[in-house]
Chain A
Amino acid sequence: MYGNDFAGPDAGSDGGLLGQVEAAEAALRAAALRGRVEGDPAALQDYFDAVIAADQKIEPRDWMPDAYRRGLVRQIAQHAHSEIIGMQPEGSWITRAPSLKRKAILLAKVQDEAGHGLYLYAAAETLGVSRAELVDMLLDGRQKYSSIFNYPTLTWADIGAIGWLVDGAAIVNQVPLCRCSYGPYARAMIRICKEESFHQRQGYEILHTLSRGTQAQHEMAQDAVDRWWYPSLAMFGPPDTDSTHSAQSMAWKIKRFSNDDLRQRFVDMCVQQAGVLGLRIPDPGLRWNEERQAHDFTAPDYDELMRVIKGDGPCNEERMAHRRRAHSEGAWVREAAAAYAAKQQEVVPA
């Protein structure tokens, strides 16, 4: 099972996804005990290569190739931006949640996403960039966020579908990142994955309740799954044949599995769960392949993925406008906090 057993957050000892998270955490503790190495450039490169080869962790104190640093900044920042933009599609349902219990769960989830953004920006900052620079790059479009958040949340069932499919895909993508070669990113991912399993479970429970509710609720749930299925498959990125960053990223052990391997793992996981939910996966080509011991399925529309990434999705403008508005409307508050802090420093003698 790929962490979707919904058995509870402490079910990690059975070798499920949370078990993998715990193993990754143990590896990080061992890595923290290593000392710092100094020397000429060739020795540094050799040391870096040896650490990667031995499945050890690179830490901020260690020398690293520029391309490794740049690639990580790009990936971690994009991930952080995704958490922050990702608050919007679900957040708009906080005020409309249909029960107080669901309202509380959704509030807690959206709050977690803000927290995940903060851990990830902090991890990126260990690579020598500031959060302010990264936020500027998001706001002026130089850096991206996950294309999935450019789709609209039309009904309450979308909150269920996002939890089940979008958070489910995120977990399949992210659990291997707990073993990523860069220590601060791996540590951030461990905290995040532990919370994501709760997010996915709450989505699954929403769909489970709706699917077994009134006819209108069941239809709402099926409609949401119909709309979120292919965008969720597209979250794993372009097919391996077209993925620009993958090979180097795998060599450096930032990434552990290919886009297509992870996508297959996700599909196989969802088929069984859809059965329990009593909902249909909207793919007429979906069938078990005995030879491959995996499901055949219809690939998502990668042209659509590219269009959405380039800015032409249903909600790109709305998401960015919301983020820019929050940032610009908060400017006077941030200035006030800075001015107040400066006055307090004047008052206290050095």
Chain B
Amino acid sequence: MTTVDYVLRLGDDALITAQRLGAWYAAGPEMEEDVALANIALDQLGAARLLLTYAGELEGAGRDEDALAYRRSAGEFRNCRLVEQPEPDFAFVIAKLLLLSSFQQPLYEALAAAGDERLAAIGGKALKESAYHLDHGTLWTLRLGDGTDESHRRVQEAFDTLWPYTGGLFVGDAVGPVEFASLRDTWQSTVEDVLRRATLEVPSPSPEPTGDRPQLVALLAEMQELHRAHPGARW
């Protein structure tokens, strides 16, 4: 049994991640990194499209990927708060990448082997991509953590700032083939191992912030503006 909300959670995580990374065009610290970030954004967007299409089919109300991406308001998005956090510098991009891919990689692996055929196919494809994301996030966390004093300070600050939002990866009562909470131990050991090798501190646990989500509202306003300005148009 897979619910619409479960698939939306996965699809929205991927979509919002792609949207944030898409804003990094021509702004990476190296040209090679512009290519890499675009590549990761494309992987996330590709997964988002498959997942939103499936969510629309499960819902059975005739909504396709674009109806779900462009015509829902912030309150209807199911993504975890981590992915919508802004990225004021490259350290935040890398910290988010490590924290998210350490979750998505075992999630897709488990989905690929679980009972929902559509999610198994999507997971099987996304699994290989998320292994690369985890690899890239790990490599850069090591470089920044064990690089210079400045890079160490910046990336530690990024992990400290984002840490309270990581609890949200594992919550959610939507029903699906893999319980998010079951991935917590794997996630914890992956992330802590990388932080330790990068000479970084594992931040102390703290409760996830609640309340309004102005950053998600702003992100969606930019993403949806053009589409919503032309109701019924084809693109």
- For A209, list chain B residues within 8 Å (CB): 234-235
Complex partner residue of B22 from A94, A115, A322, CB under 8 angstroms: A94
Q: A88 — nearest CB in chain B belongs to which residue?
A: B26
Flag whether A98 is at the interface (Cβ < 8 A).
Answer: yes
With contacts A104-B42, A333-B144 taken as known, whether A98 is within 8 angstroms of B227 at the C-beta atoms is yes
Min CB distance B56 to A, Å, is 12
Min CB distance A92 to B, Å, is 8
Min CB distance A232 to B, Å, is 21
Flag whether B185 is at the interface (Cβ < 8 A).
Answer: no
Flag whether A50 is at the interface (Cβ < 8 A).
Answer: no
- Check B230–A114 contact: CB distance below 8 A: no
- Check A99–B45 contact: CB distance below 8 A: no
Beta-carbon contacts under 8 Å, B35-86 to A: 35, 38-39, 41-42, 45-46, 48-49, 52, 65-66, 69-70
- Check A100–B48 contact: CB distance below 8 A: yes
- Check B144–A336 contact: CB distance below 8 A: yes
Min CB distance B42 to A, Å, is 5
Choose the segment among B98-106, B126-134, B146-154, B169-177 that binds chain A (4+ C-beta atoms closer than 8 Å): B146-154
CA distance in complex: A286, B149 (Å) = 63
- Check A326–B35 contact: CB distance below 8 A: no
With contacts A114-B35, A343-B146 taken as known, whether A336 is within 8 angstroms of B151 at the C-beta atoms is yes
Complex partner residue of A107 from B29, B41, B49, B232, CB under 8 angstroms: B41
- For B48, list chain A residues within 8 Å (CB): 100
Q: How many residues of B contact A (CB 8 A)?
A: 50
- Check A110–B31 contact: CB distance below 8 A: no
Min CB distance A132 to B, Å, is 11
Q: A118 — nearest CB in chain B belongs to which residue?
A: B31
Min CB distance A209 to B, Å, is 6
Min CB distance A222 to B, Å, is 16
Flag whether A163 is at the interface (Cβ < 8 A).
Answer: no
Beta-carbon contacts under 8 Å, A66-87 to B: 84, 87
CA distance in complex: A28, B35 (Å) = 27
Complex partner residue of A104 from B28, B49, B89, CB under 8 angstroms: B49
Flag whether A32 is at the interface (Cβ < 8 A).
Answer: no
| Contact code string A328-339 (vs B, CB < 8 Å = 1, else 0) | 011111111101
- Check A332–B154 contact: CB distance below 8 A: yes
How many CB-defined contacts (below 8 Å) exist between A and B? 146
Min CB distance B214 to A, Å, is 17
- For A91, list chain B residues within 8 Å (CB): 25-26
With contacts A102-B235, A115-B35, A118-B32 taken as known, whether A95 is within 8 angstroms of B223 at the C-beta atoms is yes
- Check A118–B26 contact: CB distance below 8 A: no
- For A95, list chain B residues within 8 Å (CB): 19, 22-23, 222-223
Beta-carbon contacts under 8 Å, A173-231 to B: 206, 209-210, 213-214, 216-217
- Check B143–A99 contact: CB distance below 8 A: no
Min CB distance B123 to A, Å, is 20
- Check A104–B148 contact: CB distance below 8 A: no
Q: A114 — nearest CB in chain B belongs to which residue?
A: B34
Beta-carbon contacts under 8 Å, A97-152 to B: 97-104, 107-108, 110-111, 114-115, 117-118, 121
- Check A99–B235 contact: CB distance below 8 A: yes
- Check B69–A329 contact: CB distance below 8 A: no
Most interface-central of A91, A101, A331 (chain B CB within 10 A): A91
Q: A131 — nearest CB in chain B belongs to which residue?
A: B31
- Check B230–A98 contact: CB distance below 8 A: yes
Flag whether A156 is at the interface (Cβ < 8 A).
Answer: yes
CA distance in complex: A58, B147 (Å) = 42
Complex partner residue of B143 from A92, A216, A337, CB under 8 angstroms: A337
Min CB distance B145 to A, Å, is 9
- Check B223–A104 contact: CB distance below 8 A: no
Q: A337 — nearest CB in chain B belongs to which residue?
A: B143
Min CB distance B185 to A, Å, is 29
CA distance in complex: A101, B50 (Å) = 11
- Check B151–A94 contact: CB distance below 8 A: no
Q: B25 — nearest CB in chain A belongs to which residue?
A: A91
Complex partner residue of A332 from B18, B38, B150, CB under 8 angstroms: B150
Most interface-central of A91, A100, A118, A341 (chain B CB within 10 A): A100
Q: Please, could you name 19 A-B residue pairs with CB atoms under 8 Å apart, sorted by A?
A: A87-B25, A91-B25, A95-B19, A98-B70, A98-B233, A100-B45, A103-B18, A107-B18, A114-B26, A114-B35, A156-B226, A214-B230, A322-B27, A330-B30, A333-B90, A334-B30, A335-B151, A336-B151, A339-B151
**List of 9 A-B pairs having minimum Cβ-Cβ separation, nearest first:** A330-B29, A336-B147, A91-B25, A336-B151, A111-B38, A333-B29, A87-B26, A94-B22, A340-B143
Known: A96-B222, A217-B233, A322-B26. 16 other contacts (CB 8 A): A91-B25, A91-B26, A95-B222, A101-B235, A103-B18, A111-B35, A111-B38, A114-B26, A217-B230, A333-B151, A335-B147, A335-B151, A337-B143, A339-B147, A339-B151, A341-B143
